[in-house]
Structure 1
Amino acid sequence: MSSLKIQITKNENKKEKVPADQLLFGRTFTDHMFIADYTDGVGWHDYRIVPYQPITLDPSATIFHYGQTVFEGMKAYLAEDGVVRLFRPEENMKRLNISCDRLSMPKIDEDHAIEALKQLIEVDKEWIPAEPGTSLYIRPFMIATEAHLGVSAALTYSFIIIMSPVGSYYKEGIHPVKILVENEYVRAVAGGTGTAKTAGNYASGLKAQEVADREGYSQVLWLDGIERKYIEEVGSMNVFFKIDGEVVTPSLNGSILDGITRKSIIQLLKHWNVPVTERKVSMEEIREAYLNGKLDEAFGTGTAAVISPIGELRWKGELFYVNNGETGELSSKLYETLTGIQKGNLLDPFGWVVEIKE
Structure 2
Amino acid sequence: MQEIKITRAEQRKEKPDSSKLVFGKYMTDHMFVVDYDEGQGWHDARIVPYAPLQIDPAAKVLHYAQEIFEGLKAYRTADGSIQLFRPMDNVRRLNLSCERIALPEVPEDLALAGITELVKLDQKWVPYEKDTSLYIRPFVIGLDPTLGVHTSHHCQYIVIVCPVGAYYPEGLAPTKIYIEDQDVRAVRGGTGMAKTGGNYAASLRAGNRAEQKGYTQVLWLDGVHRKYIEEVGAMNVMFKVNGKILTPDLNGSVLDGITRRSCIQLLKDWGYEVEERRISAEELFQAAKDGTLEEAWGTGTAAVVSPIGELAEGDEKAIINHNEIGPVTQKLYDTLTGIQWGRVPDPHGWIMKL
Instruction: Label 1:232 to 1:65 Cα distance change in 2 as closer, same or farther (>3 A).
Output: same
Residues in 1 aligned to 2:188 and 2:164: alpha-carbon distance in whole angstroms? 34
Match of 1:311 in 2: 309
Partner Cα distance (2:6, 2:201) in 1: 34
SS of corresponding position for 1:37: strand
What CA deviation, in whole Å up to 9, does each residue of 1:156-194 have, x standing for no partner?
001000001001335565210000000000000000000
Please point out which of 97, 100, 114 is paired with 1:99.
97
Offset, 1:342: 0.5
Segment of structure 1 superposing worse, 166-175 or 258-267: 166-175
> 2:47 is matched with which residue?
49
Is 1:298 aligned to residue 258 of structure 2?
A: no
TM-score w.r.t. length of structure 2: 0.99
In the other structure, the counterpart of 2:140 is 142
Show the 5 A alignment for 1:129-278. Answer: 129-169=127-167, 173-278=171-276
2:13 maps to what in 1? 15
Runs of 4+ in 1 over 4 A off after TM superposition: 170-173
Percent identity over paired residues: 53
Counterpart secondary structure, 1:212? helix
Q: Return the alpha-carbon distance in structure 2 between the equivalents of residues 65 and 172 of structure 1.
A: 36
Distance of 1:172 and 1:315 partners within structure 2: 23
Q: Secondary structure at the match of 2:339?
A: helix
> Once the 2 structures are TM-superposed, how far is the Cα of residue 110 of structure 1 from its aligned partner?
1.1
Q: How does 1:318-333 map to 2 (within 5 A)?
A: 318-333=316-331
SS at structure 2 position matched to 1:158: strand
Select the residue among 111, 114, 117 that pairs with 1:116. Answer: 114
Consecutive unaligned residues of structure 2, counting only runs of 5 or more, are: none
Paired with 2:230 and 2:6, the residues of 1 have a C-alpha distance of: 43
Number of residue pairs matched? Answer: 354
SS at match of 1:180: strand
Find the counterpart in structure 2 of residue 341 from structure 1: 339
The 3 A distance-change label for structure 1 pair 173 and 64 is closer
Is the CA contact (8 Å cut-off) linking 2:23 and 2:166 kept in structure 1? Answer: no
1:150, distance to aligned residue in structure 2 (A): 2.0
Contact 1:4/1:115, CA 8 A, preserved across alignment: no
Segment drifting more, 229-238 vs 56-65: 56-65
Matches of 1:150 and 1:278, distance apart in 2: 40
1:127 lines up with 2:125 in the alignment: yes
Show the 5 A alignment for 1:269-288: 269-288=267-286
Indicate conservation of the 8 Å contact 2:219/2:229, yes or no.
yes
For residue 86 of structure 1, the aligned residue among 84, 87, 90 is 84
Supply the distance in 1 between the matched residues of 2:213 and 2:98 (Cα, whole angstroms). 36
Contact 1:307 1:334 in 2 (8 A): yes
CA drift at 1:16 = 0.3
Instruction: Provide the aligned C-alpha RMSD in A.
Output: 0.9
- Which of 58, 67, 91 lines up with 2:56 in the alignment? 58
Aligned letter for 1:169? Y
1:29 lines up with 2:39 in the alignment: no
For the residue of structure 2 that corresponds to 1:45, the secondary structure is: strand
Counterparts of 1:79 and 1:125, CA distance in 2: 13
Query: Structure 1 residues 200 and 120, CA, compared in 2 at 3 Å: closer, same or farther?
Result: same
CA shift for structure 1 position 115: 1.6
Deviation at 1:112, TM superposition (A): 1.6
